[in-house]
Amino acid sequence: MVHSDLRKLIAGWRIQVRVIHALMIREINTRYGRQNIGFLWIMVEPILFAGLVAAIWRLWKGPEEHGISIIAFVVTGYIPITLFRHCVARSAAIFTANSSLMYHQQVKIIDFIFVRFIIELLGSMMAYIFIAGVLISLDLFPIPKDMGLFIAGWINYAIFSLAICFIIAPLSEVSEVIEKLIPVTTYIMIPFSGLFTMLSWMTPSSREYLLWSPFVNAMEMMRKGIWGDDVTAYYYAWNPIAFSLITTLIGLALCRHVRRTLSVE
Amino acid sequence: MPPCAKDAICRMIVCRNISKTYTHGGRKKVVLKDVSFTIGRGERVALLGCNGAGKTTLIKIIGGVEMPTSGKIERHMSVSWPLGFSGGFQGSLTGLDNAKFIARIYGQDYDEVRSFVEDFTELGGHLKLPVRTYSSGMRARLAFALSLAIEFDCYLIDEIILVGDQNFQRKCHKELFENRKDRSIVLALHNNDFIKEYCSSGIVLHNTGLHLYRDINKAIEYYDDISLKVSV
């Protein structure tokens, strides 16, 4: 019994890997086509966004703030938030957009979320590596002091973004109001995302509130990993993990509910 | 689950107490209410019912495209996606890209699928154009060819067979009713002569209920009966 269940699980896993692979190729083909640089477009937008904002900040505020390079600081903030905002924007109405694929039983609605998340994740990681490589060679970006901590922070940030998508995707199918509110919400949350400031620059009381935000915790981890002893960071590594877990559970339950009522043309 | 041997239920599609209600803007429409039936291996079932009786809905539920509001469906054989005018394809991709996608998700070799599709559909250069530029007949050809290339135990067909020219019809009949005699087929169709010739049993949908006849003539009789009442 246990044995056959395990075999079923493995077979199911294989099918999902196959489906996600096929969906990714299809998504990249439809979104970027086969002309010019093709799928490399996925890294262009994060690069432009982080690069241009960093340049503006550099001109506006000078080379350094609180003893660290402004350009590097902006880049470390903008690449993760671009990942988050793109993921969320792409999850809205994701089931309706892909409904013709639900004709195939092995395609599950969760696959759509995974696929778009993986594409955004790859794009932002490629952008990060590219931009950091260029800046390091120009001596504008520090060589990460603690790569492990940085990666742990990045994973925390990404997992929480994915968890949010699990909620946004089904909710946007249920209510159009929610779909309309997404852009403004992701904009308003910017101050609570740890994008512009480190917690050590703030008053202790506001620091305490911001430490509830999974984004801030993950962002502090990443920046501590990059600058090491040059900065003071405050974070709880478990915070994004706990929030992701709760959010994912709620999100998966919502997805399940929405799938039952989804009408496919 | 016990190991499947000769046990009949292991080679069937079993639908238990299926209900389907669509809700839109606070308004509810009951399409199916507590219907149960089985489809055996090799059985050819005609789905009969007036427009709006729920034939397409039932086919979608059997194919797993939509979920029943309540009830359970067990598939003990592989079931094709509903072959019809729409669904199953990505309009912005070419016919061949769609074939590649479907070969991938069903774990089939693309080159084999491709050569079968090229041969069977006779669409030639159209296969390199986006599917949204296809006529419904061309889409039907592509869907049919792909489902034949992948090989299912049960085919779900929604008003599609009578589409297309004589030559294509002959091919379909040969592939489906001669070369794949052992497969199950669920067919939603209005043509009585065709049904009588090819189907062994019939499901009549009427007033959210379902009547299953293992004798196709009885099913047609009953269906004629109720459609006469409706028209009077």
**Residue in the block written with tokens 């427009």:** B51
Judge whether B56 lies within some domain: no
Q: Is the pLDDT of residue B6 over 60?
A: no
pLDDT digits (tens, 9 = 90+) for B45-87: 999 988 888 898 999 999 999 999 999 999 999 999 998 877 7
Residues contacting residue B72 through CB under 8 Å, at least 6 positions apart = B15, B16, B17, B18
**Nearest chain B CA: its distance from A106 CA (Å):** 8
Judge whether B158 lies within some domain: no
Q: Which residue of A has its CA nearest to B156?
A: A103
Q: Is the pLDDT of residue B181 over 80?
A: yes
Judge whether B200 lies within some domain: no
Strands B27-39 and B13-24: antiparallel
**Nearest chain B CA: its distance from A96 CA (Å):** 12
Judge whether A264 lies within some domain: no
pLDDT, mean of residues A37-43: 80
- Assess B54–A contact: CB distance below 8 Å, yes or no: no
The Cα–Cα gap between B71 and B34 comes to: 8
Q: What is the DSSP letter of B201?
A: E
Q: What's the confidence (pLDDT) of residue B160?
A: 65
Residue B51: what are its φ and ψ, rounded to 5°? -60, 135
For A106, the closest of B88, B97, B105 (CB atoms) is B105
pLDDT digits (tens, 9 = 90+) for A62-93: 888 787 888 899 999 999 999 999 999 999 88
Q: What's the confidence (pLDDT) of residue A54?
A: 87
Mean pLDDT, chain A, rounded, equals: 90
Judge whether B100 lies within some domain: yes
The number of domains in chain A is 1
Judge whether A7 lies within some domain: no
pLDDT digits (tens, 9 = 90+) for A207-247: 888 999 999 999 999 999 999 988 888 999 999 999 999 99
Judge whether B52 lies within some domain: no
Q: Do B1 and A263 touch (CB under 8 A)?
A: no
Please report which helix (H) or strand (E) contains residue B17, including its range.
strand B13-24
* Of A152-156, B116-120, B133-137, highest mean pLDDT: A152-156
Judge whether B120 lies within some domain: yes
Judge whether A97 lies within some domain: yes
**Residue in the block written with tokens 């199953």:** B88
- Assess B23–A contact: CB distance below 8 Å, yes or no: yes
pLDDT confidence bin for B5, thresholds 50/70/90: very low
Chain A residues with beta carbon closer than 8 angstroms to that of B1: 4
Q: What's the confidence (pLDDT) of residue B2?
A: 46
For B88, the closest of A15, A21, A103 (CB atoms) is A103
Which domain does A19 fall in, by range?
A: 15-259
**pLDDT over 90 percentage in chain B:** 46
Q: Is the pLDDT of residue A124 over 90?
A: yes
**Nearest chain B CA: its distance from A248 CA (Å):** 22
Mean pLDDT, chain B, rounded, equals: 87
Judge whether B183 lies within some domain: no
CA count, 13 A, side-chain hemisphere, A161: 31
Q: What does each C-alpha distance from A45 to A35, A131, A242, B185 come to in angstroms?
A: 17, 12, 30, 49
Q: Do B81 and A21 touch (CB under 8 A)?
A: no
| Helix and strand counts by DSSP (H, E) for chain B | 7, 8
The Cα–Cα gap between A50 and A43 comes to: 11
Q: Do B86 and A265 touch (CB under 8 A)?
A: yes
**Nearest chain B CA: its distance from A246 CA (Å):** 26
pLDDT confidence bin for B161, thresholds 50/70/90: low
**What is this model's ipTM?**
0.86
What pTM was computed for the model? 0.89
pLDDT, mean of residues B12-36: 91
Judge whether B204 lies within some domain: no
Which domain does B126 fall in, by range?
A: 88-151
The number of domains in chain B is 1
